[in-house]
Amino acid sequence: MISIASLSSTNPKRSGQVPSADLSRLQASSQAVESARHLRAVRIQTCAACISVGLEGAHAHQPPTTSSKSIQHVLDNSVQSQTFCQPASIQTSTRQRKVQQPSATLRGPITGPSGEIQSGACATENSRAGKEQQKWAAGRNVPLRSAEKDDQEQLSNSEIQGADASMTTFTASAIEPASNQAQWPREPTISHSRQSRATLTSAGLLSKPSFNLRGRLAPLGALSYPGLLESSTSPYSSGFRSIKIGIETEFYLAGLQGWLNHSSLDGFTAILTRQHNQQVPVQHSRMREYLRPYKYQGPYTQWCLVKEESLMSFGIPWGIELVSPLFRAFPGSRWREDVEATWAYLSANYDIAGNALAGTHIHIGLEPDYSLTDLKRIAQAVIHFETAFEALVPRCRRGNIHAKSNWLDAPGLAQSGRSRPESIAAVENVICFGDLVNLLHPTLLPGGQYDRSFSWNFCSWYDKRSIEFRKPPASLTSKDALSWTELAMSFVQASSLVVSSEELQKIPPTVGGLRWFLRNFGNEPGVNQPGRLERLWRSAEPSAILEPTSQVSGLPEQERLQLEKRLRTMVLADRRRIEESIKNAHGVYW
């Protein structure tokens, strides 16, 4: 290539020297090209720096800008379809749909599942794709959803809505995009009906910071789990803690058609998973195509099938455990659709059965992670409301060896002579998580391992940063799975917001008291669906309580009999205490 300098040094008659006016234009054009290249390099470096410190959703700094018309001309014509910052890409296939983490080396335009061009947090200079790119939120993989569309998609079934006029209502302002530019929704507000205000005041709770008041909205970071591909609508409040959910359910499966069955569990699993991934729409999570090892430690990115030894199955129907991907719930998330899609496939192709041996285990985590205060409040609520949970579960799950009482069977609580109120006080006094586990879980297993087989398993915080709810029966339908998950999720949310153990113990530990507790403390707009709990509330009277049955083991016969007798005496005393507290309770709890 001949440089401008060489052109200016040649004889104009021999080589056709460029006139001075043209030479000036060429020099300006060359400078514009170099400036454009420099600007593009700076922008890419800027975006890479933002990604490296986790600022995918919103840059902490702005890339340099210029008002040069020549540079803008070069950008519009020479760098036509380039954008300077790209978000995570979505790859869709019939086999698996993945979300890739943002990378500083991404190049070229990326399209979403409907063909929209996805833009990053930096403003694009490409006018051709501008309108399409503005449909996408900064740093997001999915388009924002308007409040009107969300309203249209709200479940109309009264069983799902389950609204109660007396409960506290939360009203979030609608998303109002201006000029097709994605906007964060405004801060939610809290309103109380006259009846609910009187209710809360009489209970002594309205004046206290019991409710999780939401702060300014912050952008949602990059999604990490395939189960969240269709989960998003709008960013959540910086005051709201997103909820991590894992569902494990045990049941027996037999194919409705002969070709779906197989004489080996491996063969049965291969057929089931292959058909699942072919029949379930690709926007939902895939299923691992072979049995997952029992001691698997993640990542939990797909549905998995696990051989469940406790079900003692040696042929059709096969006893098996279904493990979900790790979901995340936040305002507007649609993780429930994944659950419904997988259960719809199973219900259409298999006979699903359960028994007393089969149960559902639900893992609930928070982001940011649980603090020691959170764990103490949740443990105290578990002990306090145990009689309500016992009344809610079916008879086959009462006294289950794999879901023991967190009070009666805890070595540091009832077995040490502590009543429920004394146990709640003991939890309040712990100063570290290890002390809390020593109170709640015995170390009777080989190798000094903690026994996890309690109704609420706090040991899973060690390796999964979650609390596991093990009390529910087998989930034979998606309604079963989602109802029990809603119960666990709402209970953890509500318990973590309690001001003090004294305030907690003012609420009667009945089914009606538990319902009031969840309605007023564990109901986040766009996250919770309290109507899913109606089928559980209908299974017991509001005043119902049921003391658990102890499962004493690992002791010599004489010692065991003495301990069981002492525990029965404590149970009778606890029932009398609860009945007395119900008489003195406020009517607002009913």
Instruction: Write out pLDDT tens, residues 341-362.
Output: 999 999 999 999 999 889 999 9
| pLDDT above 70: residue 217 | no
Q: What is the C-alpha separation between 144 and 137, in angstroms, rounded?
A: 6
Q: Which residue has the tokens 């380039």?
A: 82
**pLDDT, mean of residues 322-347:** 95
Q: Looking at the DSSP assignment, which residues form a beta bridge with residue 217?
A: 237
22-26, 49-53, 132-136, 312-316: range with highest mean pLDDT:
312-316
pLDDT at 478 over 90: yes
Question: What is the pLDDT averaged over residues 555-568?
Answer: 90
Q: Judge if pTM exceeds 0.95.
A: no
Per-residue pLDDT band at 584 (split at 50, 70, 90) = confident
Least confident of 22-36, 142-156, 355-369: 142-156
d(CA 246, CA 285): 13
Of residues 20 and 500, more confidently modeled: 500
Tell me, what's the pLDDT at 27? 59
Instruction: Work out the pLDDT band at 553, boundaries 50, 70, 90.
Output: confident
Helical pair 420-428 and 557-583, crossing angle rounded to 10 deg: 90
Cα distance between residue 402 and residue 454, in whole Å: 6
Give the domain ranges of the chain. 381-474+492-590
pLDDT at residue number 343: 97
Confidence of residue 448 (pLDDT cuts 50, 70, 90): low
**Shortest CA distance to 527 belongs to which of 192, 176, 150, 225?**
150
Dihedral sign for Cα atoms in the order 335, 341, 344, 349: negative
In the predicted model, is pLDDT for residue 536 greater than 90?
yes
Percent of the chain topping pLDDT 90: 42
Q: How many angstroms from the chain centroid is the CA of residue 259? A: 36
Cα(103)–Cα(135) distance, integer angstroms: 22
Locus of tokens 């729409």: 281
- pLDDT for the residue numbered 581: 87
Confidence of residue 452 (pLDDT cuts 50, 70, 90): confident
Is residue 508 within 8 A of residue 589, CB to CB? The reply is yes
Between CA 547 and CA 391 the distance in angstroms is 8
pLDDT at 286 over 50: yes
Residues in CB range of 521: below 8 A, 6 or more apart: 210, 211, 493, 494, 495, 497, 498
Mean pLDDT to the nearest integer, 53-72: 36
pLDDT at 7 over 80: no
- DSSP secondary structure letter of residue 584: T
pLDDT of residue 149: 36
Query: Per-residue pLDDT averaged across 386-414, rounded?
Result: 92
pLDDT range class, residue 582, cuts 50, 70, 90? confident
Residue 552 predicted with pLDDT over 70:
yes
User: Of 364, 346, 325, which Cα lies nearest the Cα of 486?
Assistant: 364
Task: Check whether 205 has a pLDDT greater than 90.
Answer: no
The confidence score (pLDDT) of residue 240 equals: 75
Mean pLDDT of the chain: 69
490 or 588, higher pLDDT: 490
Q: Which of 81-85, 110-114, 329-333, 339-343 has the highest mean pLDDT?
A: 339-343
1-20 average pLDDT score: 43
- Mean pLDDT of all residues in 395-415: 90
pLDDT of residue 220: 25
What pLDDT does residue 63 have?
A: 37
Per the model's pLDDT, the better-predicted residue between 124 and 530 turns out to be 530
Task: State the average pLDDT over residues 98-116.
Answer: 33
pLDDT recorded at residue 206: 34
Q: Given a cut of 60, is residue 410 above it in pLDDT?
A: yes
Q: Mean pLDDT check: name the lowest of 175-179, 308-312, 393-397.
A: 175-179
pLDDT confidence of residue 299? 83
Mean pLDDT, residues 506-511: 94
Quick one: which of 335, 324, 332, 328 has its CA closest to 365? 328
- Rounded-to-integer distance, Cα 296 and Cα 294, Å: 6
Q: Whose CA is closest to 466, among 310, 319, 284, 328?
A: 328
Give, to the nearest 10 degrees, the angle between helix 372-384 and helix 478-496.
120
Residue 329 pLDDT > 80, yes or no? yes
CA–CA distance from 49 to each of 54, 193, 225 (Å)?
Answer: 9, 48, 24
Question: Is 327's pLDDT higher than 50?
Answer: yes
Q: Which residue has the higher pLDDT, 34 or 541?
A: 541
pLDDT at 551: 85
Q: Is the pLDDT of residue 162 over 60?
A: no
Question: Which 3 state secondary structure label does DSSP give 585?
Answer: coil
| Cβ pair 302, 99 in contact under 8 A | no
pLDDT at position 587 is: 60
Most confident range, picked from 31-45, 319-333, 445-459: 319-333
**Out of 27-41, 175-189, 246-260, least confident range:** 175-189
Q: How many CB atoms lie within 10 A of CB 70?
A: 16
Helices (runs of H) and strands (runs of E) counted in the chain? 20, 14
